[in-house]
């Protein structure tokens, strides 16, 4: 049985996998039942009413209305049930827990670049401890990619110009495929990698073997100064620019009267496309950094901005 | 060619009514496809105007509303003349029909000339998207997007006007010299439908392009 | 072609007019024909050609996938192969297949008309189709395109290699051919029906062609403008879809799927129409729940326009949009289920013969059931997240497109072959190839469901070694399938000259097309038929009685 299982199912290695597998099995059972029903009935009719067989062929009386309504409503109700079940699970898949470790992922033709909060970087490999929720904040440098880990049963497109997220809690130590599953050009099929899920102790040993760079926040702080952001975005500046302490996650009033939540997308757009949304009470003076700043540096700056001020979510990042 | 008194019926049709109904329905379906063709562009416009309202408003102020306004008037008048042409056709007044069609076509040409002048001005001002594009705006990138959509939509519309002008001129000659539509005004009616459609598209384009946030 | 023998055939009454095949024999008389039947033949030849181009690409892909290393062709070539396969099969085979071949041939015949409403436009459609095809073939010969048939931006508009613009132009032009065909059919069905042929006396094939035509007319213009925007972005570097230039790549996906999801129904509905003709005829039964099947057809057409977002569950569209698209996708599967149940119920108390068209029809029902049910997995949000863009999706839509549409097309082709050519195909060989195709198909595509759930992504020439076993099964199946497809080509051509003469109605089928001679004269009918009863007036008891009388 285990052998058959490993032939039909990928490893179940995240908190999401059992739930997805349950819905899948339910669908499989339903589909098999319907297929067998249709095939058996069709086969029975084909044999019983084959040409020349001795069977009663008096045309059935009455309208088939009742039958039609029955076989319209029953599938509809079953499908609705399935919809709600799967939608609920999908909703959970889209809502990362607050204490998840935030790891930045940048896709480019044809590799995955990964930035951990402690500043470590990896290419095409992701080392994480078992049992800790992980939230990937992903963007692309060029075309659309997709970060797919079959053993975790999750994937998400990685879209240039915006951040997408994906989360999971690995439940089983091991080595799992990363596939790019959105076609992205010549070496699409070589844009693959591995997730290494490790026991916490083993993960700690792995961490020690790596050179310890500055944390992502520290890297971001450095960039914040070297890129000249701190020239304007401080209290003492002669230029009237918004202060950024504690801005992340807060509503920002805009010049045109609307409100936006200062999420990753807003911070990104403000750096790359500063005139897209202008904060109320400020002049559009900020220069654009489009084309001058790499996605990784941008991620570091955003991580730094998120760390500023009264943030509830700190412990996972330092 | 002698005067054609009876409607020529193509072999696949039983009678003139069937032929007329089929042709009319075909034209309406064609217009439905055209609406969806423009619909894709209108959707793109809506999505980006919603995403970048201030850039679109600013870019819109760089368009020449006087030209656009005049052109709206020109097309509306030409549509009215076309309506009279359809009436003349149903009354079998061939010379009047020819004349009215000719006026309609001339107004179409006038529209294209004005549009051409406007385009020339915009090229001089570097408002044609591409490497030479330049605009004094807070968000030049999305202002360029506006102009891209502007050129595309007005360009496709102008193509439709051009096709219309060619067809109307052709029909005008046929009416004037050959009396081709005696007792057979369906083609003129359908041509009229097409021309009104082209007109209506412009009526939607005009406020969307020239009048975003223009309060003067 | 074979007039001499045809005239020797037993005819209901002597032919006063030549058959449409004999009415002019020059190449010119074919290339300038406005006869819907001849245009159908032109299409048949063209799409067969495209089918084998697309099939050759598929064969190369399957061979490459025998081993996980990517050693037969380079990744670049493989990417071009699947693009050729997708573009050619979707736009130059599947979308035109049943509508333009069987539809063109049968719509006027089935409704008792002399031709379609706009015969010249009909010919123009074929020329547009061929012009589009020429662009596509040019693009293939001069180096191909590596975008995939979906042309996702910004890859296609900025990063891709090859003649993307030529390919897009080809699809654009062929698209206008589709629009013209759809428009023609709608007007024809509305305005040209024979006296007494009310809507609910129409054969189901006409209902499906009608719905298909509506989709062609309303969805294709959106594809045209979407590809235009993409090509302009590529040519002039203005970013409407490229985020690096301020555009939105998701807008492309919305516009593309707004066309391409309904296009899936363009590809399957006519197949359903064919099967709805075949099953009643070979079961000698009235169609069960005729009105429900007709309503279901229209419902599929309408709902089909509202579910495009289920291709985008992981694209970063809003999760609430995802939920709406998911529930609508479940809804659209209900009318499909209704159809399957009604086809099965039609067999009840019939007098069933198992000639080749019936084998295809039964194969269609089985494969379509599997294809439709696996569609539920993809409509199901949480499961789709896992199987999206894997081989599960590939397997699903091949069950619909190949298991459905191609089986439907071949079944219909065999059924109406006597009407089209006046000749019968060799029955035993045909049965053999139908069974070969069915088995080969299942062996090719069933393993791909498992591969998909195991996580093998699509468009991968190089893949993880643990997927090899299933890929070998799949390739083995593909080779059987290839044999299955070459057989009909051979014996159908053979039958043109040596096949038995068919007579006007070899299947004792109802339907106006069977009341005229085989092949029909240019004007279809001696005089316009008058219809007094509904479709499928079959009687199983009478058929049995006849059989016994024959034995006695």
Enter the pTM of the model.
Answer: 0.90
Parallel, antiparallel, or unpaired for β A174-180 and A121-123?
A: unpaired
pLDDT of residue C3 exceeding 80, the answer is: no
How crowded is residue C548: how many other Cβ atoms within 10 Å of its Cβ?
9
Rounded CA-CA distance A97/A87 in Å is 18
Q: What is the pLDDT of residue C212?
A: 95
Backbone φ and ψ of C124, nearest 5°: -60, -35
pLDDT grade for C16, boundaries at 50, 70 and 90:
low
Lowest-confidence range among B174-188, C214-228, C290-304, C338-352?
B174-188
Whether A203 and A246 share a structural domain: no
Break chain B into its structural domains and give their ranges. Answer: 64-210
The yes or no reply on domain B64-210 and CATH 3.30.56.10 is no
Reduced to 3 states (helix: H, G, I; strand: E, B; else coil), residue C452 is helix
Q: Which structural domain range is residue A290 located in?
A: 216-307
Q: H/E element holding A147? A: strand A145-149
The mean pLDDT of A90-114, rounded to a whole number, is 92
Q: What CATH number did the domain enclosing A302 receive?
A: 1.10.760.10
Query: Mutating which of C153, C384, C457 best tests the A interface, going by the most A Cβ atoms within 10 A?
Result: C457
Q: Give the other-Cβ count within 10 Å of C17's Cβ.
A: 13
The Cα diameter of chain C in Å comes to 82
Q: Please count the other Cβ atoms lying within 10 Å of the Cβ belonging to residue A70.
A: 12
pLDDT in tens, A288-313: 888 788 888 888 888 888 888 654 43
Q: What pLDDT, on the 0 to 100 scale, is given for residue C35?
A: 94
Q: What does the pLDDT average to over A205-220?
A: 85
Residues A295, A161, single domain; the answer is no
- Contact residues, C window 54-83, toward A, CB-based 8 Å cutoff: 70, 75-76, 79
Q: What is the pLDDT of residue A311?
A: 44
Q: Quick check: A275 contacting B, CB < 8 Å? A: yes
Structure-model confidence comparison of residues A164 and A234, the more confident one? A164
What pLDDT was estimated at residue A229? 85
- Percentage helix, strand, coil, to 5, in chain C? 70, 0, 25
Q: What is the domain-level CATH number for residue A172? A: 2.60.40.420
Contact indicator for C535, C514 with CB cutoff of 8 Å = no
The residue from A212, A235, A250 where one domain ends is: A212
Query: For residue C542, how many other CB atoms are within 10 A of its CB?
Result: 12
The whole-number pLDDT of residue B211 equals 85
Q: What is the pLDDT of residues B30-51, one digit of tens each?
A: 999 999 999 989 998 998 888 8
The minimal CB distance from C238 to the residues B33, B41, B148 is found for B148
Model confidence over C117-162: pLDDT tens digits?
999 999 999 999 999 999 999 999 998 899 999 999 899 988 888 8
Contact indicator for A152, A168 with CB cutoff of 8 Å:
yes
| Residue A60 is assigned to a structural domain of this protein | no
Picking from B12, B30, B39, the nearest residue to C222 by CB comes out as: B39
- Whether residues A27 and C377 touch (CB distance < 8 A) is answered with yes
Reported confidence tier of residue C71, pLDDT bands at 50, 70, 90:
confident
Label residue C30 by pLDDT band (50, 70, 90): very high
What is the C-alpha to C-alpha distance for residues C185 and B25, in angstroms, rounded to an integer? Answer: 11
User: Rounded to an integer, what distance in angstroms lies between the CA atom of residue A172 and that of residue A151?
Assistant: 10
Angle, helices C164-191 vs C204-236, to 10°: value is 150
Q: Is A141 on the interface with C (CB under 8 A)?
A: no
**Mean pLDDT of all residues in A139-155:** 94
Q: Which of A195, A212, A229 finishes a domain?
A: A212
Whether residue A36 has pLDDT greater than 50: yes
CB contact under 8 A, C190 and B25: yes
Q: Is the CATH number of domain C19-551 1.25.10.10?
A: no
Q: Which two tokens stand for residue B7?
A: 């409607």
Handedness of CA C178, C184, C187, C188 (dihedral sign): negative
Report the residue of chain C nearest B156, measured CA to CA: C225
Task: Give B160's pLDDT tier (boundaries 50, 70, 90).
Answer: very high
Sheet containing strand A134-140, edge to edge, reads: A121-123, A111-115, A101-108, A134-140, A164-168
Task: Report whether pLDDT(C258) > 70.
Answer: yes
pLDDT digits (tens, 9 = 90+) for C178-204: 999 999 999 999 999 999 999 999 999
What is the model's pLDDT at position A313? 38
Q: Which pLDDT does position A63 carry in this prediction? A: 64
Asked if omega into C519 is within 30° of 0 (cis), the reply is yes
Q: What pLDDT, in 10s, does the model give residues C412-428?
A: 999 999 999 999 999 99
Residue A12, pLDDT above cutoff 70: yes
Where helices occur in chain B by DSSP H, the ranges are 16-51, 53-60, 65-90, 94-124, 140-173, 186-210
Query: Across chain C, what does the average pLDDT equal?
Result: 91
String of DSSP letters for C458-490: SS-SS--GGGHHHHHHHHHHHHHHHHHHHHHHH
User: C107 touching B, CB under 8 A?
Assistant: no
CA C145 to chain centre: 24
**C172 with C228: CB under 8 angstroms?**
yes
- Provide the 10 A C-beta neighbour count for residue C1: 15
User: What confidence tier does A1 reach under pLDDT thresholds 50, 70, 90?
Assistant: very low
Tens of pLDDT, residue by residue over C100-109, are 999 999 999 9
The rounded distance, in Å, linking the Cα atoms of C192 and A253 is 62
Q: How far apart are the first and last CA of chain C?
A: 40
Are residues A245 and A185 part of one domain? no
CA B208 to chain CA centroid, Å, is 16
Distance from CA of B136 to the nearest CA of A (A): 13
Which residues, other chains included, contact B177 with Cβ-Cβ below 8 Å and sequence gap of 6+? none
- Kindly indicate the confidence band of residue A315, based on its pLDDT and cuts at 50, 70 and 90: very low
Searching chain C, which residue's CA lies closest to the CA of residue A149? C455
- The predicted complex's ipTM stands at 0.89
In whole angstroms, what is the distance from residue C446 CA to residue C440 CA?
A: 10
CB contact under 8 A, C380 and A23: yes
Measured in degrees and rounded to the nearest 5, phi and psi for residue A253 equal: -75, 135
Query: For residue range C293-320, what is the model confidence (pLDDT) as tens digits?
Result: 999 999 999 999 999 999 999 998 888 9
Cβ contact B105:B172 at 8 Å: yes
Closest CA to A140 of A292, A33, A299: A299
Is the pLDDT confidence value at B86 over 90?
A: yes
Q: Which of A23, A49, A74 to mutate to test the interface with C (most CBs of C within 10 A)?
A: A49
Identify whether the C-beta of residue A311 lies closer than 8 Å to the C-beta of residue A98: no
Interface residue B4 vs chain C (CB under 8 A): no
Q: Give the 3-state secondary structure of A88-139.
A: HHHHHHCCCCCCCEEEEEEEECCEEEEECCCCCEEECEEEEECCCCEEEEEE
**A112 plus A157 within the same structural domain:** yes
Checking if the pLDDT of C492 tops 50, the result is: yes
| A183 & A243 share domain | no
- Dihedral sign, CA of B127, B131, B132, B136? positive
Q: Which of C292, C234, C224, C228 lies closest to C263 in space, CA to CA?
A: C224
Number of structural domains in chain A: 2
pLDDT band at B6 (very low <50, low <70, confident <90, very high): low
Higher per-residue pLDDT: A167 or A236: A167
Residue B129 touches chain C, beta carbons under 8 Å: yes
Cα C332 to Cα C308, C340, C341: the distances in Å are: 11, 14, 15
The residues pairing with A166 across neighbouring beta strands, listed in sequence order, are: A136
What are φ and ψ of residue A258, in 5° steps?
A: -90, 170
Q: Residue C78: what are its φ and ψ, rounded to 5°?
A: -60, -45
Please check whether residues A176 and A237 belong to one and the same domain. no
Element (H, E) at C342: helix C319-346
Mean pLDDT score of chain A: 87
pLDDT value at residue B4: 47
- What digits encode the pLDDT tens for the residues B52-83? 888 888 888 888 989 999 999 999 999 999 99
Domain boundary residue, one of A212, A233, A266 = A212
The answer to the question of residue A171 being in a domain is yes
Check whether C8 has a pLDDT greater than 70.
Answer: no
The reported pLDDT for the residue numbered A314 is 40
Q: Is C498 exposed, middle or buried (0-12, 13-18, 19+ CB in 10 A)?
A: exposed
**Whether residue A213 has pLDDT greater than 90:** no
Residues in CB range of C509: below 8 A, 6 or more apart: C277, C281
Residue A309's φ and ψ, nearest 5 degrees, are 75, -160
The two structure tokens encoding residue A106: 């940048």
Helix ranges, B52-93 (H): 53-60, 65-90
Tokens 């007007």: give the residue: C187
Q: Cβ contact (<8 Å) for B55 and A273?
A: no
């Amino acid at each position: 049985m285990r052998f058959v299982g490993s032939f039909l199912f990928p490893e179940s290695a995240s908190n999401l996998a059992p739930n997805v597998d349950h819905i899948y099995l339910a669908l499989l059972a339903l589909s098999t039942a319907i297929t067998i029903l249709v095939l058996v009935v069709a086969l029975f009719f084909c044999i019983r009413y084959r040409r020349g067989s001795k069977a009663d062929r008096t045309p059935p009386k009455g309208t088939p209305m009742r039958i039609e309504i029955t076989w319209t409503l029953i599938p509809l109700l079953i499908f609705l049930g399935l919809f709600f079940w799967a939608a609920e699970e999908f909703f959970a898949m889209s809502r990362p827990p607050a204490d998840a470790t935030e790891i930045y992922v940048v896709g480019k033709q044809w590799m995955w670049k990964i930035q951990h909060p402690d500043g470590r970087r990896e290419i095409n490999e992701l080392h994480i401890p078992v049992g800790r929720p992980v939230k990937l904040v992903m963007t692309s440098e060029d075309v659309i990619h997709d970060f797919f880990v079959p053993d975790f049963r999750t994937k998400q497109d990685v879209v240039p110009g915006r951040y997408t997220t994906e989360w999971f809690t690995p439940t089983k130590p091991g080595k799992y495929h990363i596939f790019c599953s959105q076609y992205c050009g010549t070496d699409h099929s070589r844009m693959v990698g591995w997730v290494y899920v490790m026991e916490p102790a083993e993960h700690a040993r792995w961490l020690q073997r790596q050179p310890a760079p500055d944390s992502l926040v520290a890297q971001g702080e450095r960039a914040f100064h070297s890129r000249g952001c701190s020239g304007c975005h401080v209290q003492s500046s002669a230029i009237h620019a918004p202060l950024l302490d504690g801005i992340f996650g807060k509503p920002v009033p805009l010049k045109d009267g609307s409100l936006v939540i200062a999420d990753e997308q807003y911070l990104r757009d403000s750096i790359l496309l500063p005139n897209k949304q202008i904060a109320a009470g400020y002049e559009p003076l900020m220069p654009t950094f489009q084309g001058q700043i790499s996605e990784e540096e941008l991620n570091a700056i955003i991580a730094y901005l998120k760390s500023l001020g009264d943030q509830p979510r700190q412990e996972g990042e330092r | 060619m002698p005067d054609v008194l009876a409607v020529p019926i193509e072999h696949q049709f039983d009678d003139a009514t069937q032929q007329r109904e089929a042709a009319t329905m075909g034209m309406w379906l064609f217009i439905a496809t055209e609406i969806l063709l423009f619909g894709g562009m209108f959707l793109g416009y809506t999505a980006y105007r919603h995403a970048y309202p201030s850039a679109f408003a600013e870019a819109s102020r760089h368009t020449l509303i006087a030209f656009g306004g005049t052109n709206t008037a020109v097309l509306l008048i030409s549509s009215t003349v076309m309506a009279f042409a359809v009436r003349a056709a149903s009354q079998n007044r061939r010379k009047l029909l020819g004349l009215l069609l000719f006026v309609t076509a001339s107004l179409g040409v006038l529209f294209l000339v004005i549009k051409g002048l406007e385009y020339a001005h915009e090229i001089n001002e570097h408002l044609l998207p591409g490497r030479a594009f330049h605009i004094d705006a807070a968000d030049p990138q999305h202002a360029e997007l506006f102009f891209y959509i502007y050129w595309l939509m007005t360009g496709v519309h102008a193509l439709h006007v051009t096709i219309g002008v060619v067809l109307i001129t052709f029909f005008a000659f046929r009416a004037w010299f050959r009396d081709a539509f005696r007792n057979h005004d369906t083609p003129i009616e359908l041509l009229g439908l097409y021309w009104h459609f082209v007109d209506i598209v412009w009526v939607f384009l005009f406020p969307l392009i020239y009048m975003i946030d223009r309060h003067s | 072609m074979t007039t001499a023998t045809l005239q020797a055939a037993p005819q209901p009454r002597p032919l006063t007019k030549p058959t449409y095949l004999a009415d002019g024999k020059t190449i010119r008389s074919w290339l300038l024909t406005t006869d819907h039947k001849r245009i159908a033949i032109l299409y048949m030849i063209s799409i067969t050609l495209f089918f084998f181009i697309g099939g050759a690409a598929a064969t190369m892909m399957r061979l490459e996938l025998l081993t996980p290393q990517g050693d037969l062709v380079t990744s670049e070539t493989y990417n071009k192969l699947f693009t050729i396969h997708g573009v050619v099969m979707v736009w130059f085979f599947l979308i035109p297949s049943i509508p333009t071949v069987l539809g063109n041939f049968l719509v006027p015949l089935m409704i008792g008309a002399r031709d379609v409403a706009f015969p010249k436009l009909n010919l123009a459609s074929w020329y547009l189709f061929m012009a589009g095809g020429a662009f596509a073939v040019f693009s293939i010969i001069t180096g191909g395109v590596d975008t995939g048939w979906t042309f996702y931006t910004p890859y296609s508009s900025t990063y891709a290699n090859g003649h993307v613009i030529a390919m897009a132009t080809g699809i654009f032009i062929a698209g206008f051919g589709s629009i013209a065909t759809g428009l023609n059919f709608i007007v024809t069905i509305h305005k040209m029906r024979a006296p007494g042929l009310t809507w609910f006396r129409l054969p189901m094939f006409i209902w499906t062609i009608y719905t298909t035509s509506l989709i062609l007319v309303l969805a294709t213009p959106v594809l045209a403008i979407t590809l235009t925007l993409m090509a302009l972005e590529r040519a002039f570097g203005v970013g409407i879809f490229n985020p690096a230039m301020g555009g939105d790549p998701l807008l492309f996906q919305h516009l593309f799927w707004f066309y391409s999801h309904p296009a899936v129904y363009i590809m399957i509905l006519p197949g359903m129409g064919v099967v709805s003709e075949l099953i009643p005829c070979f079961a000698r039964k009235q169609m069960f729940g005729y009105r429900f099947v007709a309503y279901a057809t229209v419902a599929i057409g309408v709902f089909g326009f509202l579910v495009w977002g289920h291709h985008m569950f992981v694209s970063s569209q809003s999760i609430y949009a995802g939920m709406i698209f998911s529930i609508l996708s479940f809804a659209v599967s209900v009318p499909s289920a209704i159809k399957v149940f009604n086809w099965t119920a039609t067999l009840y108390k019939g007098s069933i013969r198992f000639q080749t068209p019936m084998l295809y029809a039964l194969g269609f029902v089985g494969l379509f059931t599997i294809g439709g049910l696996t569609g539920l997995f993809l409509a199901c949000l949480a499961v789709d997240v896992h199987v999206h863009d894997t081989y599960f999706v590939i397997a699903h839509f091949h069950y619909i497109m190949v298991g459905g549409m191609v089986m439907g097309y071949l079944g219909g082709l065999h059924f109406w072959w006597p009407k089209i050519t006046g000749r019968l195909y060799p029955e035993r060989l045909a049965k053999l190839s139908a069974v070969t195709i069915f088995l080969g198909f299942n062996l090719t595509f069933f393993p791909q469901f498992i591969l998909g759930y195991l996580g093998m992504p699509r468009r991968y020439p190089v893949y993880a070694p643990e997927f090899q076993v299933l890929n070998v099964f799949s390739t083995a199946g593909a080779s059987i399938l290839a044999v299955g497809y070459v057989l009909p080509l051979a014996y159908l051509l053979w039958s043109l000259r040596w096949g038995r003469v068919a007579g006007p109605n070899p299947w004792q089928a109802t339907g106006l097309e069977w009341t005229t001679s085989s092949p029909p004269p240019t004007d279809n009918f001696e005089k316009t038929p008058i219809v007094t009863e509904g479709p499928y007036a079959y009687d199983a008891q009478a058929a049995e009685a006849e059989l016994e009388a024959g034995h006695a």
